[in-house]
Amino acid sequence: MADALLIFKPDSAYRLAARAGIWGWLASERDWKVESLDWFQPPADLIESHYDFLQGRPFFPWLVDFMTALPVVVGRVTASADALKQMRHDLGETQIARSRPGSLRERYGIFGGLNCLHLSDAAETGASEVKRWSEYVQLDQIKVDLDEKTQKQDHTYHLRSLATQVAGGIHVELASQLIRELVAEECELDGEKLDALWRITLGALS
Ligand code: ADP
Ligand code: MG
């Protein structure tokens, strides 16, 4: 059995319909088992080492902000190597514009690398990611009770359309404000936390 690290990134930890949809898939435990889940706000040094292979890429500063701006839901799953491969298939491709129709990222991801969920891509990376993260957060207990249903609306496709406008330099102000309103409707956040979620959302569009 392989260990894999799982992270509900901020765009799925707080957008409740996205979170419920992804959790519904994860909790089905078809060929895998969720061993732990907890809220945790990763420090920058952890994210910089977790994503060290991306250092130097133009989106790297945004990626660090994205992953450190808010507490996220971190967990560990166990699965056979084949099951992990299947889970990554269900998840879909990294960039939203390329994510397979019907995959979790196509369904709930907004734009670019704003793609909802981290899941280790193979047994070897899973082992090293779990080792690294367990120095910061316990990965042996389920401490968070996520819902598979929510009354909150799911604005994913509207958000994607607006994000495409902002990224293309079209109606930037108007589209950015509407993104904020729609994200606020999807979440139960306000104040600084909502500001942070808006900032990292817009940051993915430049
Ligand atoms: P995955 O999460 O599918 O395993 P990678 O490990 O290649 O993808 O990249 C880690 C994360 O970095 C991605 O999930 C995404 O959030 C971000 N990222 C990777 N490539 C890009 C890109 N070209 N543009 C924007 N963000 C990216
Ligand atoms: Mg990866």
pLDDT digits (tens, 9 = 90+) for 28-60: 999 999 999 999 999 999 999 999 999 999 999
pLDDT score recorded for residue 62: 98
Position 165 confidence tier, pLDDT thresholds 50, 70, 90: very high
Please tell me if the CB atom of residue 92 comes closer than 6 angstroms to any atom of ligand 1. Answer: no
Q: Which residue has the tokens 């389920």?
A: 142
Q: What is the mean pLDDT of residues 166-182?
A: 98
Nearest bound ligand to the CA of residue 7: 1
Alpha carbon distances (Å) from 196 to 56, 65, 129, 200, 201: 23, 9, 26, 6, 8
The span from the CA of 33 to the CA of 107, in Å, is 23
Taking the CA atoms of residue 8, residue 9, residue 13 and residue 14 in that order, the dihedral angle to the nearest 10 degrees is -170
Indicate the average pLDDT of the chain.
Answer: 98
109-157 tens-digit pLDDT = 999 999 999 999 999 999 999 999 999 999 999 999 999 999 999 999 9
* Nearest protein CA to atom 10 of ligand 1, as residue: 51
Mutate to test the pocket of ligand 1, among 5, 94, 108, 205 (most ligand atoms within 8 A of CB): 94
Sign of the torsion angle spanned by Cα atoms 53, 1, 108, 65:
negative
* Token output for 51: 């994503």
Please tell me if the CB atom of residue 105 comes closer than 6 angstroms to any atom of ligand 1. Answer: no
Q: What angle do CA 49, 100, 88 make, to 5 degrees?
A: 45
Task: Based on the residue annotation, tell me whether 50 is a catalytic residue of this protein.
Answer: no
Nearest bound ligand to the CA of residue 125: 2
Please tell me if the CB atom of residue 116 comes closer than 6 angstroms to any atom of ligand 1. Answer: no
Query: Ligand 2: distance of its center to the CA of 134 in Å?
Result: 18
Give ion ligand 2 contacts, CB < 5 A: 121
Query: Ligand 1: distance of its center to the CA of 59 in Å?
Result: 9
CATH superfamily of 2-133: Nucleoside diphosphate kinase-like domain (3.30.70.141)
Please tell me if the CB atom of residue 59 comes closer than 6 angstroms to any atom of ligand 1. Answer: yes
pLDDT score recorded for residue 17: 98
pLDDT score recorded for residue 159: 99
Please tell me if the CB atom of residue 121 comes closer than 6 angstroms to any atom of ligand 1. Answer: yes
Catalytic residue among 50, 89, 118, 155: 118
pLDDT score recorded for residue 104: 98
**Range list for CATH 3.30.70.141 in the chain:** 2-133
